[in-house]
A and B are shown apart, each in its own frame.
Chain A
Amino acid sequence: MKEGRGRPSKIMMDANLSYDRMSRYLELLTEKGLLENVEAEGIYKITQDGVRFLEEFRRFEKLARVFGLEL
């Protein structure tokens, strides 16, 4: 998923999630516009909003960690 795209099976393995849980997360992230389901290729692709969210998340994760907290 480093390249921002991947098949559900690969995502499931990398994220160490059950199929049901992963499906729910993928559906939720697609609904929020952070992921895009490219059905023709059978892959999920991160959107521009997703990239922006990820960047912000990493930034604020750093802030929380300085305070000894986990997001």
Chain B
Amino acid sequence: MQAYPSLFAILRVDVLLEMASAVFSLIISLLALDASRRIGSRTLLQLGAGFLLMAIAMLSRSLSVAGLLSSTFAGEIPRLTFLTQLFLLEIIYSVIRIAGYIIFIYLYASTMGSAEKKATEAFPAIAIYNPVFELASAILLTFVVYRTAVNWMHAKRPFSWVVFLGFTLLMSSHILFLLTNQSFTYYLAGHFTQLASLALFLLAVILVRLDEKGV
């Protein structure tokens, strides 16, 4: 029966959603970094670096949490050690992701113009979120949301509303994570919102590519 708990641990919805978000973020980052390399643009390098840091943070947290959960279910790691490791992971995750947001802030500020079921529930959502980080992220992203709103409403560039909506959802996801202690539903909603925001960023990139090909 050992294999089943491990499998369930890995298949936690939040972990899966975060992995998908990380993949989206990684794709956007690679596209931006490739563009930066081709034309030597520092702006696109910073945009790519911001999304890359988000992807690294999300991917490392989802993989580490899945690994830790499966080891704990298998009885290889005591619960106390598990929680300590999770706490450390959360700090590392927060630092990396905040670093990504700081790059976005710098970028936008410097240029004119993000029995098994019971066992799973036994690990509270609160263990894998950090209220201080969520609050800081939401505050930091307010500025980016404002700048992308200006870009959408004033510059009226095609598809800029998709990016504005993406950053609005990313900011909303941090507010939803912040409300996790109120209800577990907020936590899952936060993950869905985060995934939707990254899907929108990816959609914006795809729309621009299709538009320039005249599709």
Contact = CB atoms under 8 A, between A and B. Distances in A.
Interface of A: 53, 56-57, 59-60, 62-71
Interface residues of B, number: 32
Given A62-B208, A63-B208, A69 B160 contact: no
A66 B43 contact: no
Contact of A69 (B113, B152, B158): B113
B157 interface: yes
B160 A71 contact: no
A67 B145 CA distance: 11
Q: Which of A60, A62, A65 has the most CB of B within 10 A?
A: A60
B157 A66 contact: yes
A60 B162 CA distance: 17
A46 B81 CA distance: 64
B127 interface: no
Contacts, number: 70
Contacts of B151: 65, 67-68
Given A65-B155, A67-B204, 10 more contacts: A59-B212, A60-B41, A62-B211, A65-B151, A65-B157, A66-B163, A66-B205, A66-B208, A68-B157, A70-B113
A69 B157 contact: no
Contact of B160 (A57, A59, A65): A65
A56 B38 contact: yes
A66 B111 contact: no
Given A59-B212, A60-B44, A62-B208, A67 B163 contact: yes
B148 A63 contact: no
B1 interface: no
A67 B39 contact: no
A27 B162 CA distance: 40
Contact of B204 (A57, A59, A60, A66): A66
Contacts of B204: 66-67
B8 interface: no
Contacts of B207: 66
Contacts of A65: 113, 151, 155, 157, 160
A8 to B, nearest CB: 24
